[in-house]
Chains A and B, each alone.
Chain A
Amino acid sequence: MADVLPREVLICTIARLLDGVRHVAVGASSPIPAAGAMLLRAMKEAGGTVGPRISILGSVEHNFFTNGSAELFDCAGQGRIDAFFLGGGQIDGFGNVNLVGTGGYPSSNVRWPGSFGSAYLYFVVPRVILFREEHTPRVFVEKVDFISAPGVSPEGVFRSGGPVALLTGKGLFRFDKTRPGFELESVHPGHDLAEIKQATGFQFAHDAEPRQTALPDRSTLDLLRGRVFDELAETYPEFAAQMRRELVAVDA
């Protein structure tokens, strides 16, 4: 089998994490989550079933809303969005997400754009996947400086959604809301447990010898490199072109 690119591993892992969803929403500049959702749709359709509906925020092509930018949130509040992705300048071991900044508030030393819809969607979308490629101690901290959206809520607070997994450039974690905390599920090819411990600012559960993240089979890769990159190019032309350039380089 041809080499699998690290980002192809991420895309295929996202497709697996999304299995079973009816409707997934993807942020405006999130080509990897979008590719994962498109791959799942392609796999389902290749298997003769119906794939998920995919909403890409800010995209004209993938926008079937007619009630302005409020409709996505209304749709989530009605329970019609099953999965969503959140990044974060900081993510801590309790699943708290910080999209606002570091070093004080309101006069933050480093200011990020802001919380966007996270303070709502994290509460009402059942399967939120935390996704951040950069896996460093400055991103994965013991405690976030500002809570844009909390990983868990106290008993009695309405909460139909929340994090289920954290996917990074080095590995995949599951979120256990009863502890609460993360457990390392698998390590991507080329990385190991010691390296992940070094790069993670919070404690997490793990096996003594965690398994490797599953690699895609030939038919999945063919779908990804064909139909999915074609579809992706409509919304994320630069990302699709870059993936194709990297594949050519691998083959050469």
Chain B
Amino acid sequence: MKADLPPVLEVKGLTKHFPVKKGLFGRTSARVHAVDGISFSISESETLGLVGESGCGKSTAGKLILKLIPPTAGEIKLEGRRIDELSGESMRDCRRTMQVVFQDPYSSLNPRMRARDVVAEPLRNFEALSENEIDKRVSELFDNVGLRSDQLSRFPHEFSGGQRQRLVIARALAVRPSLIVCDEPVSALDVSVQAQVINLLIDLQKEFGVAYLFIAHDLAVVEHISHRVAVMYLGRIVELADKESLFANPQHPYTEALLSAVPVPDPTVKPNRIILQGDVPSPIKPPPGCHFHTRCPLAFERCKIERPLMRETKPNHFAACHLREGEAVQTG
């Protein structure tokens, strides 16, 4: 019956344009196209990795889904229920299903709150529990994320970076959400600690069946944790596929360039890097047609005029590139 369940998260044409205001009366003079019509879905117990370089809109996408900022257009469905138009109390109820882990474990904890109260905050918001029950649940959560119960009454500054991120994960897990948006959860940590936190996230997924939207720029980390991977460039998803398929056989020239930039820990392998020319264009004035045509080594006339649509080039492998049009799998 699992197939009948709606996906945990379904996003359709999600768009965010930030107005650039100028002058005394705040006239909108331009718009930053931070997220420009992205669509994907995540099922139960699945991890979707969202990768891209800085400024491509991946963190904005995460905040839009969490409704921390209102979207300009598009649909967000959480467990089949549209949340993009909700606000106030009805949105608050939905937050139970969806939690967040931010990048910086130092600023995502209130320095004046004890560890116990940090983890208890979502419990107190959503569940009518007595203080004893809350203490019990918090201790269990501490146990789940590998913290000791004698650390319950410590303040955030008494923890290390990795421990703080465990605390943040415990807070996110407290109300048993079906989706956790992880916004670069390990990029602020040491490499050795990164592995511990990633493995903790994988273990917790097995235990609680939670789905992750895993936003990151580190391809190795994404490859380790994700089931499927979406690649973003300048506000758009250019490729979306199963992890194995994407890493073994990238279909979009940008993904190819991105993968070729991953260092290989073998001095005998001669790197065959694709060096992209130029800079990422400004999201205030994104280029017409395919956003990537200004830097694409394979670009031709059509790329400058027409926006390529996402097509299934291989089973469960989607790419937005005119070059792959002929190879499109005929579906339906």
Do the two shown chains form a genuine complex with each other?
no
